[in-house]
């Protein structure tokens, strides 16, 4: 996702250091995105209730757009951990990702709409595959392709989510592979609720 990219300058909390070690072991043992992402989701889940995971400066929002705090980039570029901080109403564009991605809600709640690309090249459009409001503690794993979504702060307070990507986000500048400025066509009766754990 996009917004100001911050170079890690804060000593990681003990909890973050523990998560980094666990994710490092996971990505070294399993490189297939569809296998490693659920492993990493299970590793992230317990930290969503750890109040000392982020330092106060890593919870600072931005008035213009959601803010990305880069917490860690692995030296070999195999994974990155970031915190996204959202003021009420702030949202992403409709986008997909450069790599597998695990998202956990640390504070507040996020509303997610998931899309599918449909139609021919001349009539390319999006259909709504489902939507969900993801509360604090929820975790989801996304694996391209089929990972097109839109995310926004679903509440009236600050929302914070922790993201782990299988890529070097600092080098790439963003986790977004493509923004989708396409028409959305979807009959409501086909819309499904998406369950996250
Ligand atoms: Fe995303």
Q: Where are the domains of the chain?
A: 3-91+100-108+139-144+152-177
Q: What share of the chain in percent tops pLDDT 90?
A: 79
Compute CA distances 27 → 3, 17, 37, 81, 156, whole Å: 26, 16, 9, 13, 36
User: Measured in angstroms, how far is the CA atom of residue 2 from the centroid of ligand 1?
Assistant: 9
Residue 5 has pLDDT above 80, yes or no: no
Q: Please give the model's pTM, rounded to 2 decimal places.
A: 0.88
CATH tag, 3-91+100-108+139-144+152-177 = 2.60.120
Half-sphere exposure of 54 (CA within 13 A, CB side): 23
Using pLDDT thresholds of 50, 70 and 90, give the confidence band for residue 194. Answer: low
Residue 6 has pLDDT above 80, yes or no: no
- Other beta carbons within 10 angstroms of residue 89's beta carbon come to 10
Which residues share a beta bridge with 142? 101
User: Measured in angstroms, how far is the CA atom of residue 65 from the centroid of ligand 1?
Assistant: 14
Quick: pLDDT tens for 25-66: 999 999 999 999 999 999 999 999 998 999 999 999 999 999
Average pLDDT over residues 74-94: 96
User: Measured in angstroms, how far is the CA atom of residue 7 from the centroid of ligand 1?
Assistant: 20
128 neighbors 191 (Cβ within 8 angstroms): yes
Residue 196 has pLDDT above 80, yes or no: no
User: Measured in angstroms, how far is the CA atom of residue 180 from the centroid of ligand 1?
Assistant: 12
User: Measured in angstroms, how far is the CA atom of residue 96 from the centroid of ligand 1?
Assistant: 6
Tokens 């996304």 belong to residue: 142
Contacts of 46 (CB under 8 A, 6+ apart): none
Quick: pLDDT tens for 126-152: 999 999 999 999 999 999 998 999 999
Cα angle 50, 51, 55 (rounded to 5 degrees) comes to 115
At 122 the pLDDT is 87
User: Measured in angstroms, how far is the CA atom of residue 192 from the centroid of ligand 1?
Assistant: 19
At 178 the pLDDT is 93
DSSP state of 194: P
Q: What share of the chain in percent tops pLDDT 70?
A: 89
The Cα–Cα gap between 29 and 132 comes to: 32
At 2 the pLDDT is 47
Residue 120 has pLDDT above 70, yes or no: yes
């Amino acid at each position: 996702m996009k917004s100001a990219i911050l170079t890690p300058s804060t000593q990681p909390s003990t909890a973050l250091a523990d998560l980094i070690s666990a994710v490092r072991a996971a990505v070294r043992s399993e490189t297939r995105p569809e296998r490693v992402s659920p492993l990493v989701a299970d590793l992230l889940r317990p930290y969503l209730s750890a109040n000392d995971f982020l330092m106060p400066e890593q919870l600072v929002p931005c008035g213009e757009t959601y803010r990305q705090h880069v917490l860690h980039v692995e030296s070999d570029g195999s994974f990155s951990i970031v915190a996204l901080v959202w003021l009420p109403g702030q949202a992403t564009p409709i986008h997909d990702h450069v790599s597998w991605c695990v998202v956990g809600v640390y504070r507040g709640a996020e509303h997610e709409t998931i899309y599918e690309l449909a139609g021919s090249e001349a009539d390319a459009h999006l259909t709504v595959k489902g939507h969900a409001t993801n509360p604090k503690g929820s975790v989801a794993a996304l694996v391209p392709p089929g990972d097109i979504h839109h995310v926004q702060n679903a509440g009236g307070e600050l929302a914070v989510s922790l993201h782990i990507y299988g890529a070097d986000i600092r080098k790439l500048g963003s986790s977004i592979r493509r923004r989708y400025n396409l028409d959305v066509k979807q009959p409501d009766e086909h819309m499904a609720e998406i369950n996250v754990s």
